[in-house]
Chains A and B, each alone.
Chain A
């Protein structure tokens, strides 16, 4: 238990409609102890806090920082109490509110559980809507399915240090969400020269043209701040599914939507005509190095 002199900000983590993915993503954080020591943990779904789940549901205390995981369902009850009441109680006096994950940010995967009523805290996809609109200046969205542990840590550390976290129009921290998932992808050269992957399970080729990769259209720093400190989807040949954007989950995630064999979506901010011109030119070249195997073990025998 804390002493009266304990001036550390208080932290509460509560859940709506969720898979617990953000909770578990957070537990991957390297040096999690160094982060947690900056706060008084009042309640958390899997780490012991000062208050029980029942105390939390009964709204028996207040917090400085409210973390919310999962989609918001106004009819959901936690511990027998309406989530709407719980969220309002803690949000009212919290100095900062953090939506962790794309469900809390935009509705995400579990908006589909009850599409007519579920949403994020202040957005329903990209439309402003949700239970905490009146507190929107306090809300930071750490989008992602799940949210990256180091993104959560960054946001909490900034708050603990009394620094302002600047956000974009979707309330995502700009230091985390100004990059595209494409930045730092180890297949970038294949994208530049328009050499498409011919199949999954290969080191070579870009997944954008055929296999649904959303990295050039997705704000995220997955290839800058690696997952689990070691990798990312595109680094293991899995397309980016755009999980940090308000339209996640889209449909037909493993194939690129095309119109007359031209991708419907092109990299953010690039005029389609420019993209097509460049593609035409790039495809006119045949670059043997990029068309062959990246590593040919047999040749090195």
Chain B
């Protein structure tokens, strides 16, 4: 018998269909019912307009879409023999705002999604504090908006650079927001300094924590999430940034990667029409996102966690908690090293004469985001978007299960619904 579960409070809407056997999930399929047709909206438009349109794919990670677009255009320039060389200042400002968006996302996910879902699973009556997540996120987006003008839906990255030309005043202001954010995370979530938290070496040391993360970790163990929610133990990182390394991992073995091997395949959704497609790397499914990125850089505590608990729901959740801390530290060093005297923008060849194809790859909050474009005389001939949720939460047939399908198998429905959320579902991106 199949049971349908409607998933709410994700970005958009999704339905899961569970086939149960002996009280546990034998097989699950996922359907994303909405469609918006952004790829066809883009067709025929001036490629510069994509800088305004693609951030509107997603309200929570639109900045990653902006960067994917700008990278795709710059790649097209390169393929046309007009390589765009960016300076350090441009790269650092772009990376800073991208990182702030990831931090914003993780704050919301911890406080608005994971803590409440876990409380629901364990029937805890603890008072929920979702607005802590909104507050942390709003500090991150303030720091972001100093350079990008606003969040959501900025279009400040353009081929050849950024539109902003900050002074030291802006940098200092951003630094002060980042400091405030770090203090907030230390005080509310960690009960420990960021530095000490990042230097923890073993999960056994988590009992030194005192804040919300301590409660979260305890609840994960209580629900045995360190023994549940295992996926394929395969990880994929594709975007090039200073905070991670493009690579794929099978368990702990590391391999090099190239985004050209990503393909999307048809979803298996027998009960309901789904507008999503599954993304694969060389015909295999990989988990993407914070756990993958932290594994790719061999972050000590995450490696320790993986050694003990593999790619369990526990590791997936805690890796994200650590990525947030790690990115806060990284964002501080980015701000410290921006040279304001370098140009913010380097003139590119006339875009209205550009005829080429390009691919932009970015690590968005949930993993690799890929934009592929064909441009003719500056006009979009074809625009294709592959989003991280397509890697994590596809819906496929046995035996080749997607990471989320695999992770939900063998669990009770309530557990499976929690594990589903550990992937941080973005339905709006998936059904662009």
Q: Which of B151-159, B296-304, B410-418 contacts A (4 or more CB under 8 A)?
A: B151-159
Smallest CB–CB gap between B162 and chain A, Å?
6
| A201 and B49 contacting across the interface, CB-CB below 8 Å | no
Q: Is the CB of A200 within 8 A of B161?
A: yes
Contact of A253 among B49, B57, B165, B347 (CB under 8 A): B49
Query: Which of A15-23, A121-129, A266-274, A282-290 is found at the contact surface with chain B?
Result: A15-23
A interface footprint on B151-186 (CB within 8 Å = 1, 0 otherwise): 111111010111111010000010000000000000
Q: Cβ of B56 and Cβ of A199 under 8 Å apart?
A: no
Q: Is A133 an interface residue (CB 8 A)?
A: no
Residues of A within 8 A of B41 (CB): 109, 112-113
Quick one: closest A residue to B65, CB to CB? A19
Q: Judge if B144 is at the interface, Cβ distance under 8 Å.
A: yes
Question: Which residues of the other chain, B, contact A199 by a CB distance below 8 angstroms?
Answer: 345, 347
Chain A, range 1-47, C-beta contacts under 8 Å to B: 17-25, 27-30, 32-33, 36, 45-47
B343 within 8 A of A: yes
* B34 and A237 within 8 A (CB): no
Which residues of chain A are within 8 angstroms of B51 by Cβ–Cβ distance? 253-254
B149 to A233, Cβ gap below 8 A? yes
Instruction: Verify A46–B154 contact, CB threshold 8 A.
Output: no
> Nearest residue in A to B41 (C-beta to C-beta)?
A112
Chain A residues, CB < 8 A from B128: 48
CB pair B62 A19 closer than 8 Å: yes
A241: chain B residues at CB < 8 Å are 52, 155
CB-based contact B137/A27 at 8 Å: yes
Smallest CB separation, A47 vs chain B (Å): 6
B34 touches A202 (CB 8 A): no
B118 within 8 Å of A (CB atoms): no
A146 at the binding interface (Cβ < 8 Å): yes
B340: chain A residues at CB < 8 Å are 297
Establish whether residues A236 and B34, one from each chain, have CB atoms under 8 Å apart when the complex forms: no
- Residues of chain B in range 141-155 having any CB-CB distance to chain A below 8 Å: 141-142, 144-155
Interface secondary structure of A, over-half rule: loop
Most buried by B among A79, A231, A233, A295: A231
Given contacts A19-B62, A47-B130, A233-B149, contact A109 B56 (CB under 8 A): yes
**B154: chain A residues within 8 A (beta carbon):** 233, 236, 238
Give the size category of A's interface with B.
Answer: 35 or more
Neighbouring A residues of B6 by C-beta, 8 Å:
53-54, 79-80
The interface bits of chain A over 243-254 (1 if a CB of B lies within 8 angstroms of the residue's CB, else 0) are 100000101111
A32's contact among B48, B57, B134, B161, by CB below 8 Å, is which?
B134
What's the nearest-Cβ distance from chain A to residue B253, in Å?
Answer: 37
B270 at the interface (CB under 8 A from A): no
The answer on a CB contact under 8 Å between B130 and A249 is no
Q: Are B163 and A146 in contact (CB under 8 A)?
A: no
Q: How far is the CA of A79 from the CA of B164 in the complex (A)?
A: 42
Q: Is the CB–CB distance between B48 and A79 below 8 Å?
A: no
Which residues on the B side are within 8 Å of A109 (C-beta)? Answer: 41, 53, 56
Q: Is the CB of B163 within 8 A of A230?
A: no
Highest count of chain A CB atoms <10 Å: which of B36, B48, B57, B62 = B36
Point out the residue from A47, A52, A114, A231 that lies within 8 Å of B145, measured CB to CB: A231
Q: Which residue of B lies closest to A254 (CB)?
A: B48
Contact in complex: B49, A251 (CB < 8 Å):
yes
Cβ-based interface call for B341 (8 A): yes
Contacts of A234 in B (CB 8 A): 149
Q: Provide the residues of chain B in CB contact with A230, threshold 8 Å.
A: 142, 145-146, 173
Question: Is the beta-carbon distance between B165 and A201 smaller than 8 angstroms?
Answer: yes
- Asked if A262 is an interface residue, CB under 8 A from chain B, the answer is no
**Which chain A positions have C-beta within 8 A of B58?**
19-21
A135 interfacial by beta-carbon distance below 8 Å: no
A235 within 8 A of B: yes
A28: contacting residue among B137, B158, B345, CB under 8 A: B137
Instruction: Kindly report which residue of chain A lies nearest to residue B177, judged by CB atoms.
Output: A230
Minimum CB–CB distance for B136 against chain A, Å: 11
Q: Is B13 among interface residues, defined by CB-CB distance under 8 A? A: yes
CA distance A109 to B153 in the complex (A): 12
Determine if B48 and A237 form an interchain contact, defined as CB atoms under 8 angstroms apart.
no
Q: Which residue of the partner chain, among B34, B152, B161, B167, contacts A24 with CB atoms under 8 Å? A: B152
Q: Give the Cβ gap from A183 to chain B, nearest Cβ, in Å.
A: 16
Q: Which of A45, A47, A201, A253 contacts B345 (CB 8 A)?
A: A201
The A-contacting residues of B in range 42-94, CB under 8 angstroms, are 45-46, 48-49, 51-53, 56-60, 62
B9 touches A (CB below 8 Å): yes
Report if B359 contacts A (CB, 8 A).
no
- Contacts A27-B108, A48-B116, A228-B142 known; A236 to B149 CB distance under 8 Å? yes
Contact of B152 among A21, A113, A202, A253 (CB under 8 A): A21
Most buried by A among B52, B112, B128, B138: B52
Question: Which residues of chain A have C-beta atoms less than 8 A from B12's C-beta?
Answer: 20
Q: Is B428 part of the contact surface with A, judged by Cβ < 8 Å?
A: yes
Known contacts being A21-B56, A46-B108, A46-B112, is A237 close to B36, with CB within 8 Å? no
Q: Is the CB of A232 within 8 A of B150?
A: yes
Q: Are A235 and B137 in contact (CB under 8 A)?
A: no
Supposing A17-B36, A21-B152, A253-B49 touch, asked if A48 and B130 sit within 8 A by C-beta, the answer is yes
Is there an interface contact between B344 and A28, defined as CB atoms closer than 8 Å?
A: no
0/1 string, A75-115, CB within 8 A of B gives 1: 01111100000000000000000000000000001101110
B116, A30: Cβ atoms closer than 8 Å: no
A136 at the interface (CB under 8 A from B): no
A20-B60, A249-B52, A253-B49 known; A231 vs B150 contact (CB < 8 Å): yes
CA distance A58 to B276 in the complex (A): 25
Residues of A within 8 A of B134 (CB): 27-29, 32
Cβ B138 vs Cβ A228 within 8 A:
yes
- B109-149 residues with Cβ-Cβ distance < 8 A to A are 112, 116, 128, 130-131, 134-135, 137-138, 141-142, 144-149
Q: For B150, list chain A residues within 8 Å (CB).
A: 222, 227-228, 231-233
**Which of these, B112, B158, B167, contacts A47 with CB under 8 Å?**
B112
Q: What are the nearest 3 A-B pairs in CB distance?
A: A201-B345, A201-B344, A20-B59
Given A27-B138, A28-B137: 12 more A-B contacts, CB < 8 Å: A24-B59, A30-B138, A47-B112, A47-B130, A48-B130, A77-B33, A110-B36, A112-B41, A227-B149, A236-B156, A238-B154, A297-B340
What are 7 contact pairs spanning A and B, CB under 8 A?
A46-B108, A53-B13, A77-B33, A146-B59, A227-B145, A229-B142, A231-B148
